[in-house]
Amino acid sequence: MTSHPSAVTRFAPSPTGRLHVGNIRAALGNWLWARKHGGRFLLRLDDTDTERSEERFVDAIRADLDWLGLVPDAEVRQSERFALYERRFDELVEGGRIYPCYESTQELELKRKVQLGRGLPPVYDRAALALSDADRARLEGEGVRPHWRFRLDHDAAIGWDDLIRGPQSFDPATMSDPVVRRANGSWLYMLPSAIDDIDMGVTLVLRGEDHVSNTALQLQMFDAMGATPPSFAHEALLTGAEGKLSKRLGSVGVDTFREAGIEPEAVRALLARIGTSDPVEPIRDAGQLAETLNFARFGRAPARFEEAELTQLNARIVHQLPFDVVAARLPDGMDAAGWDAIRPNLSTVAEAADWWTVVEGPVMADIAAEDREFLVAAATEAAAIDWAGDPWHALTGALKAATGRKGRALFLPLRRALTGRDHGPDMAQLLPLIGRERTIERLTA
């Protein structure tokens, strides 16, 4: 694996709710990139919204990442970094790149309506820049507390080479100076995020394409702070049956996956390849997923998340799981031989319990009248064969010779009597688990 220790990525959720599919996909991509380049993956908790951030969501985010195997190399919390933000803020105010604004929400909304009514884009008119020191003193004397905007440089287009979307260009004159701090002193997302990316040495930001315009604004913030920006990659958003990251899809997260019996390897394997030209495959090895991560193979079209595809992929992952990985989740008494026999028929590990009842019994079988004499003969042969070797083929071979039955007429009545089902695990593996006594008992029941 390529060593590139300077590679630093971050996942920056707000602890105001549970992680959903889109969050998990962003975390995975950043984790894989850091792993591919031998770098560091950081968890940054964007908890500046003190009213909505909750510690239970912090714990849930950590637990979800741990379940997915996306263990961060370090964790920071924005709520512990306010002193750093204040220093940078003061520097930008002094340099004229952040300025106070005194319009109310209602006044700003009225301005937008007027601009739209005139067929103009609803861009902030920078009226606050025309205020004199006396005007500002008067407003503040009247109890008006300012909010603060970052002043965009209109002299040159904003551009960057996006690792997924290719060359990007924005005209800053068509964009409003973004509000970076509210009148109550609390921070909005973009400035603290840029400050953190500088301070933490982040070299790549992978996130959804809904952040493209934010990136344009933040690039000027990096420049204003004299910093080299990280590389940016914006992946197409996920869609579900109900449209772009619909309300239902937006609630699908780790809890949903775990309750459905989905393995974390299946989630990783699907979300690492969805929306790319690489095939979705049941790859358990995270290192293999990381090594094949290539932004050039990411598509621009929305990526469709299908729960049915995840379910199918999960079954293929389950069929690979060795006994020691799942032993703690298996029913009492199931050993490695039992797991190997039952595993190919499972969609989830939890289904092993259902099949283990087939082994241990009791089973109820609906036997056709024409098969009952055949099963009596089968019980006799089962008592006579050598169970030390391959009892299934010994039993069916003896019955074929004794009764002349073959194919479905031979195998189906036996399977039905022994398991109560018409389909299931390979009987050559299952019969030794059922054992001699239970086999004879079921055939004569």
Other Cβ atoms within 10 Å of 333 Cβ, number? 10
d(CA 229, CA 223): 8
Question: Any known ligand binding at 247?
Answer: yes
d(CA 149, CA 191): 10
The alpha carbon torsion through 380, 384, 387, 392 (nearest 10 deg) reads -50
Q: Are 212 and 168 in contact (CB under 8 A)?
A: yes
3-state secondary structure 382-429: HHHCCCCCCHHHHHHHHHHHHHCCCCHHHHHHHHHHHHCCCCCCCHHH
Please state at what angle helix 264-273 crosses helix 55-68, rounded to 10 degrees.
90
The string of DSSP codes covering 258-303 is HHTT--HHHHHHHHHHTTBSSPP-----HHHHHHT--GGGB-SSPE
Cα-Cα end-to-end distance for the chain: 60
CA distances from 95 to 87, 154, 221, 288 (A): 12, 16, 12, 48
d(CA 25, CA 238): 9
Q: Are 425 and 345 in contact (CB under 8 A)?
A: yes
Edge-to-edge order in the sheet of strand 147-150: 98-101, 147-150, 179-181
d(CA 269, CA 265): 6
Nearest to 12 by CA among 70, 80, 78: 78
Q: Which residues are documented as binding site for ATP?
A: 247
Q: Please state the residue numbers annotated as binding site.
A: 247
